Each structure stands twice: as structure tokens, then as C-alpha cells.
């Protein structure tokens, strides 16, 4: 017999009620809830092992969000007709939840934790990703897994100047900014989103409104936990600690770590020096040291480096590579480094480098983005590749990682703000290959992508650049904001904050906060410092490529989009596709036709201008409406005793009556024309009975003297 479920609810605003329920489904999980808004239902479960694996020294959290196609009454389109590996949208949603949850667990908690979320019922207007983190947190809240706090997550949009919490799908289409924000009762934890050049004050306002809405959701989760009777959290095995060894590590290595850190050396030189010191440190404990103690030495050594470098930056205002806190590393960039791609650029910032290409395609190359609720085609997409050699490592190449999906998505969302809309005919693919990495390769991708788009001749109006910010704080209130952080600074900092944008505003944001009590004043200061860093990089980008090329490169394919009346779509395609296949075969083009409202969009794609022009004329001829009085030229298609049939426009024939061939009276058609002859004619009328076109050749000839009109023979 099922137990009686426990539920709570809260209002999102505007009468939109959200229900959280536990105790009915998945009762063997450590924690399980359903979250429902409208017809959207998400099932979240969480299970944690009681003990960590032997030798485990990191926190193994896994989060998987998946949408069941049955939730929207659909069957998957794959060969196996079942849900397979997570798609990019599901991976991105999983990452949003993971990044928000991870800081909730104690630093010494190393037990495996698995969070699984399933969309089991879909609502056409409710976006499930804005509810997924709420569901995951609620599942943890009603379990005995030792989390420190409850969190939640909301989306903020701005529609017609008004901020809206968790806007509907329809509302979001007209929103000029979109941020997903996660927070605890007191602190922001994660921010990700995009905007059409919003200013820093808009972002701050969105964060404040989101935090107010999140507090309501946290209160509901706490109420659910109380109703369920969860009052304690499970105990867990703590990692071993040896104060004697820790003191030995600090006394031997503290000053030496400081000397290495303040030299301002390059990444690999610094890494090598740290490695040599580690070996000397281990040797100082003698040959009798056990493997367990050696592991503790290595752990305390990493803790020491974290502490020394942070204090060095806070006290001495010195960074690992010798830069000032607000200084961007040296920049080098060029466009068109590769001869064959349709657009390319090489962007280097310090020890981070991106080689980026742009490729043009047709509508057949659109990216299908599929979810349970709907499937849409995207004309612009970006792929980000992070090979192991970029960091001097050897790793197995096993396909795209979640990190690569997330970094590529941030760059894509940022550049998308400047992409041409409406009638732009091309599908555009951007690929960023990271060749070197020491801090924020995703921001290098944004800069390289902007340069490559302009190099390709994509009419983007402005450059977009990006910069990664860091923050180091201490309990005494001292803090340091770092511009253009290194990889090591990302690891040891309290905030990783990436901001992209133009000279006029923010286009993209990704932020992870690892510290409690981050004030809005510090956030404003970080945003202003990020703006200055972004503008510095933009100045260099404009020097390299001031504006987009006026047209695509000679070797790039040409494309023209024609808008025709809906009634002509069938004529262009022809019976069984005969006409469109003939056009493509004869002109060497690729043609795609899409019905949009009451019109047809015909995209013609070709590598050769001559073939493109020929196909354009052909389609225009088919779709054109003949105008009485216009002059045309076309081949003779058939000859009868009473005249000739001329194809004066593609697919349109008219009768050139024997009486309209010449001002001279003709007795027969013998020897006048043969099939295939080109004849210039004038459209003089439309037969009211048959609807056939009436053509004249003599109307284009000088009238003979006397102006006499000869009688024409009767039509047979």
C-alpha cells in the first residue's frame, strides 16, 4: 500500500502555483520528490553511498537530467526508439544543477552521490530547466545526506522592460535578457545567461529579484523537510588527519612555495618548480614514510600552496605571472590564417590560444535541437574542442566532454547576439580548437569567433569579446578582484566570473561562487573591472579587424534567398520534384524551399556565381506573374498551322498566332520557325475564355507605311 504523500506549494507570481511532493514515488531512494507546475512534472531522486571508496580524495557527485519523450506524447526518432545518451540541452541543464549543488556538501565529504532527474510530464509553456534545480535540492532536503544548506534556482527574463521570474516559452521569445540564477538563503551560488547588450545595473537588478524569488522556494523546501520529519543528517567517515605531518610540511615548504609563487614565471616553469619542491618535501620525511603518510604530505602541500598564493595576492597584490590585479595578458591575433575555410582567426592571450573557423551551409545544414516538448532548427551553432595537448597532457579522446559542451554554449550564446536575423540566408557553423590553455579558453573562443565571423563576411555589426574574472577573499574582509585569471587562479579563487559583451553592453555571463557572503558592492566592482578588461580586448580586436568584410570570400559559396508567393511553391518543385531537380542539375546549385506563412522562402546555394545567377533567373521566371505589355524572350516549344507556342517564361507558354508574327500576311507556318528557336515577343493579352497567354512578335517591329492592318486568317 502506498504511503500518504507529503506536499507543499508556493506561488511563482501571477497565480502560477508550484507543488513539491514526496513520499509517493521512488521510496527506496535516499530522497525523492516531484515538482509540478501546470502539466510539467519533474521527478528528482538522490542516493549517496554510506562510505567513501578506499583512497578517495575528491567529491564524486554526478547529476543527470533527462527528458522522457513520453512526457510530451512523442516517440524518440532514433533507430532504437528509446532515449539514448543525454543531448546537449540535457547536458547543459545537468551542468547548471551540478554547479549549484556542489558547494552545498562539506569539503571533507567524499562519498559517491548520484542525482537523477527525469521530466515525466511536459507542459508546452513551462520551461522545465528552471524547476530542475529546485527538484534536486528538495530531494536532498528530505534526505539524510549531509548538505550544509538548501538552494533553489530560477530564470529571469525581461519582457517589454519588465523583469519576469520563470517566464513562459512564449514570453521568453520576446525577452531581451535571460539569466538562470541559483542561490542559498543568503548567498548567490551560480549565474548563467545571455542578453542583448544589457548594462551592469540590469544584471544586478536581475540578481536581486531572482534572490527574492529563490528565498520563497527555499522556505517551501524547509517546510517540506519539517513535514517529513527530517531533523538530522547522517554521519560520515572523515579523512585522516595528522597535525605533526601538517606542521612538518608547512615548516619545510612555506617559504619556498612563496618564493616560487612570486617569481612571475610561466605556467610550466612554475609547475616544474612546484613538482621539484614536492619531491624534496617528501624526501625530507625520510625513507621510512608510509604510503598513507606520503598521501597526507601531498594533500597538505596542496593546501599550503592554496593558502600561500591567496595570501600573496591579498597582501602583496602580486599574481603568479607577475601581472597587476586588473591587467590583461599580452594579446596577439590575426584573421585569415587558413586559406581554405570560409573564415578563420587565431587568437592568443598569454598562454591561451584558439584557432577558430567559420563554415557556411544551407538550410540542409541546420542543427536540429530536440527536446521532449519540441524540436527546432538552429541556423547558427558553435562547437568547442579542448584536446589534451592544449595543457601538455596525455588523455584518451572519448568524444565531447560536458565541459566542452558548456564552454561552447557560453561562447555561442554570446556571439549569437550579434548574428544577423531575418533574411540572412546562410547556416553558420563556428568551430573553436583550443591549442593552448592556461585560463579561460571559452573567452578566447568568443574573441576568436567574433574575428572569424567578420573575416568570413558575416555582417555582424560589432565585435564581442570576453574576459574571465576571479575573486579572492578572506574572513577579515580583505579581497582582491583579478582580471583575466590563470588556470591556477581559477582553482584557488572564490569566484569564477566570465563576462562577454560589446562596447555597449553585456552579451553573456557565467559565474560560479564558492564563498559565503558575497556583497552586491563587491559584485558591482567586479563587473566594472570586467567591463574595463573587456573594452581593452575589444580595442585590440578592432585594430586587427575593424569591420566585417563587405562580402564573402571568392572561394566561399554564394547564397540568395528569394521570397515567392505560396501558390508558386508547387510549380518550383514540380511533379515529384522534377522541376527543382532539373534546376539543380543544370545550374550546379543546391535549392531549399520552405513554406513560411503565405510565402515561400527559396534559398539558392552555389559555389559559382554563373550557376547561381542562372538558377535565380529560373526560379524568378517560374514564380513571376506575367505582365501584359512586358517583353520576353524564349524558345519555341511547338508549331501548329495557326501559330507557334513560345515558352516566354519558365513553365509558362503562350500562343504566338500566325497573324502576330509579322505585319505581312502569312499563308502558312512553313519555314518560319523550328523548335528551340529563340523568339522575342510581347505579352499582349490573356484569352478570357481559356486563360491562355497571347503573344505578339509584330508588336516589336516597326509598323509598315500606310499603317494598314491586314486581315488574319481564322484560328483553327
Q: Which residues contact 88 (CB under 8 A, 6 or more apart)?
A: 369, 405, 409
pLDDT at 520: 81
pLDDT at 565: 85
pLDDT at 716: 37
Q: Which three cell numbers stand for residue 686?
A: 490573356
114 has which bridge partners?
Answer: 47, 62
Distance in angstroms (rounded) separating the CA atoms of residues 44 and 33: 5
> Strand order in 31-37's β-sheet?
6-11, 17-22, 31-37, 40-48, 113-121, 61-67
Distance in angstroms (rounded) separating the CA atoms of residues 191 and 410: 12
Nearest CA to 537 out of 313, 333, 250, 695 is that of 333
Ranges under pLDDT 50 in the chain: 710-716
- Between 291-316 and 267-284, two packed helices, what is the crossing angle to 10 degrees? 130
Alpha helices (H) along 72-168: 88-101, 129-141
pLDDT at 310: 93
Q: Which three cell numbers stand for residue 66?
A: 533527462
pTM across the whole model: 0.84
DSSP H/E element including 473:
strand 465-473
Domains detected in the chain: 6-228 (3.30.230.70), 243-316 (1.10.10), 331-544 (3.30.230.70), 558-623 (3.30.1370.10), 630-700 (2.40.50.140)
Distance in angstroms (rounded) separating the CA atoms of residues 668 and 262: 103
pLDDT at 119: 96
Q: Which three cell numbers stand for residue 700?
A: 516589336
Tell me the C-alpha to C-alpha distance, in Å, between residue 278 and each of 271, 281, 295, 526, 640: 11, 5, 12, 35, 99
Instruction: Please report the DSSP string for 281-331 in residue order.
Output: HHHHT-TT--HHHHHHHHHHHHHHHHHHHHHHHHHH---TTS--TTPPPPE
Distance in angstroms (rounded) separating the CA atoms of residues 377 and 462: 25
pLDDT at 302: 92
Distance in angstroms (rounded) separating the CA atoms of residues 276 and 291: 19
Nearest CA to 63 out of 105, 91, 23 is that of 91
Distance in angstroms (rounded) separating the CA atoms of residues 26 and 23: 8
Pairing outcome for strands 375-378 and 367-370: antiparallel
Distance in angstroms (rounded) separating the CA atoms of residues 181 and 513: 11
E strands of 350-457, at which residues? Answer: 352-361, 367-370, 375-378, 380-385, 427-436
pLDDT at 9: 95
Q: Are 112 and 48 in contact (CB under 8 A)?
A: yes
pLDDT digits (tens, 9 = 90+) for 189-206: 999 999 999 999 999 999
Distance in angstroms (rounded) separating the CA atoms of residues 429 and 356: 10
DSSP state, residue 634: E
Distance in angstroms (rounded) separating the CA atoms of residues 350 and 63: 34
Distance in angstroms (rounded) separating the CA atoms of residues 473 and 542: 35
Distance in angstroms (rounded) separating the CA atoms of residues 421 and 169: 20
541 CB-side CA count, 13 A: 32
pLDDT at 13: 86
pLDDT at 517: 65
Sequence ranges of the binding site = 490, 496
Distance in angstroms (rounded) separating the CA atoms of residues 322 and 317: 10
Sequence ranges of the binding site for Mg(2+) = 490, 496
Nearest CA to 683 out of 668, 671, 694 is that of 694
678 has which bridge partners?
Answer: 635
Nearest CA to 177 out of 161, 189, 190, 188 is that of 161
Distance in angstroms (rounded) separating the CA atoms of residues 328 and 381: 28
Amino acid at each position: 500500500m502506498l504511503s500518504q504523500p507529503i506536499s507543499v506549494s508556493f506561488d511563482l507570481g501571477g497565480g502560477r502555483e508550484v507543488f513539491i511532493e514526496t513520499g509517493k514515488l521512488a521510496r527506496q531512494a535516499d530522497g525523492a520528490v516531484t515538482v509540478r507546475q501546470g502539466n510539467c512534472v519533474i521527478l528528482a531522486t538522490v542516493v549517496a553511498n554510506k562510505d567513501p571508496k578506499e583512497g578517495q580524495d575528491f567529491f564524486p557527485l554526478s547529476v543527470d537530467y533527462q527528458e522522457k519523450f513520453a512526457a510530451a506524447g512523442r516517440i524518440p526518432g532514433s533507430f532504437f526508439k528509446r532515449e539514448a545518451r543525454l543531448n546537449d540541452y540535457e547536458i547543459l541543464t545537468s551542468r547548471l544543477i551540478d554547479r549549484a549543488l556542489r558547494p552545498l556538501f562539506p569539503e571533507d565529504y567524499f562519498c559517491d552521490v548520484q542525482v537523477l532527474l527525469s521530466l515525466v510530464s511536459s507542459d508546452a509553456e513551462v520551461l522545465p530547466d528552471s524547476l530542475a534545480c529546485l527538484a534536486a535540492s528538495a530531494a536532498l532536503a528530505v534526505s539524510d545526506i549531509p548538505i550544509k544548506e538548501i538552494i533553489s534556482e530560477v530564470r529571469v527574463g525581461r519582457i517589454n522592460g519588465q523583469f519576469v521570474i520563470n517566464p513562459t516559452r512564449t514570453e521568453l521569445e520576446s525577452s531581451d535578457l535571460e539569466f538562470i540564477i541559483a542561490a542559498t538563503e543568503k548567498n548567490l551560488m551560480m549565474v548563467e545567461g545571455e542578453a542583448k547588450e544589457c548594462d551592469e545595473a540590469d544584471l544586478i537588478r536581475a540578481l536581486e529579484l531572482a534572490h527574492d524569488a529563490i528565498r520563497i522556494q527555499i522556505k517551501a523546501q524547509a517546510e517540506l523537510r519539517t513535514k517529513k520529519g527530517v531533523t538530522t543528517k547522517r554521519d560520515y567517515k572523515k579523512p585522516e588527519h595528522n597535525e605533526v605531518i601538517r606542521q612538518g610540511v608547512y615548516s619545510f615548504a612555506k617559504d619556498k612555495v612563496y618564493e616560487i609563487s612570486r617569481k612571475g614565471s610561466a605556467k610550466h616553469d612554475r609547475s616544474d618548480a612546484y613538482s621539484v619542491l614536492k619531491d624534496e618535501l617528501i624526501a625530507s620525511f625520510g625513507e621510512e614514510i608510509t604510503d598513507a603518510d606520503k598521501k597526507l604530505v601531498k594533500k597538505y602541500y596542496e593546501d599550503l600552496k592554496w593558502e600561500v598564493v591567496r595570501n600573496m595576492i591579498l597582501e602583496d597584490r602580486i599574481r603568479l605571472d607577475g601581472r597587476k590585479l586588473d591587467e590583461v595578458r599580452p594579446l596577439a591575433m590575426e584573421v585569415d590564417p587558413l586559406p581554405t575555410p570560409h573564415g578563420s582567426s587565431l587568437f592568443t592571450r598569454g598562454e591561451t590560444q584558439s584557432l577558430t573557423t567559420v563554415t557556411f551551409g544551407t538550410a540542409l545544414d541546420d542543427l536540429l535541437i530536440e527536446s521532449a516538448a519540441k524540436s527546432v532548427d538552429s541556423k547558427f551553432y558553435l562547437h568547442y574542442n579542448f584536446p589534451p595537448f592544449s595543457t601538455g597532457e596525455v588523455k584518451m579522446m572519448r568524444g565531447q566532454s560536458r565541459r566542452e559542451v558548456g564552454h561552447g554554449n557560453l561562447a555561442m550564446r554570446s556571439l549569437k547576439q550579434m548574428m544577423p536575423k531575418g533574411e540572412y540566408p546562410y547556416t553558420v557553423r563556428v568551430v573553436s580548437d583550443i591549442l593552448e590553455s592556461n585560463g579561460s579558453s571559452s573567452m578566447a573562443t568568443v574573441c576568436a569567433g567574433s574575428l572569424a565571423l567578420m573575416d568570413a563576411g558575416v555582417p555582424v555589426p560589432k565585435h564581442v569579446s570576453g574576459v574571465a574574472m576571479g575573486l579572492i577573499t578572506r574572513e577579515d574582509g580583505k579581497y582582491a578582484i583579478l582580471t583575466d585569471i590563470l588556470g591556477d587562479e581559477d582553482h584557488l579563487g572564490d569566484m569564477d566570473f566570465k563576462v562577454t559583451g560589446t562596447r555597449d553592453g553585456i552579451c553573456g555571463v557565467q559565474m560560479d561562487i564558492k564563498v559565503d557572503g558575497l556583497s552586491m558592492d563587491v559584485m558591482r566592482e567586479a563587473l566594472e573591472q570586467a567591463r574595463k578588461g573587456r573594452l581593452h580586448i575589444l580595442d585590440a580586436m578592432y585594430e586587427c579587424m575593424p569591420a566585417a568584410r563587405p562580402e564573402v570570400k571568392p572561394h566561399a559559396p554564394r547564397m540568395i534567398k528569394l521570397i515567392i508567393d505560396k501558390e508558386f511553391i508547387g510549380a518550383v518543385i514540380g511533379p515529384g520534384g522534377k522541376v527543382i531537380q532539373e534546376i539543380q542539375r543544370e545550374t550546379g546549385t543546391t535549392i531549399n524551399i520552405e513554406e513560411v506563412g503565405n510565402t515561400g522562402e527559396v534559398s539558392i546555394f552555389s559555389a559559382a556565381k554563373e550557376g547561381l545567377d542562372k538558377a535565380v533567373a529560373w526560379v524568378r521566371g517560374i514564380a513571376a506573374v506575367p505582365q501584359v505589355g512586358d517583353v520576353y524572350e524564349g524558345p519555341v516549344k511547338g508549331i501548329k498551322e495557326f501559330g507557334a507556342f513560345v515558352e516566354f517564361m519558365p513553365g509558362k507558354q503562350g500562343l504566338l498566332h500566325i497573324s502576330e508574327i509579322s505585319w505581312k500576311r502569312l499563308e502558312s507556318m512553313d519555314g518560319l520557325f523550328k523548335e528551340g528557336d529563340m523568339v522575342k515577343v510581347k505579352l499582349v493579352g490573356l484569352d478570357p475564355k481559356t486563360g491562355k497567354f497571347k503573344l505578339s512578335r509584330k508588336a516589336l517591329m516597326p509598323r509598315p507605311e500606310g499603317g494598314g492592318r491586314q486581315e488574319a486568317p481564322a484560328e483553327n
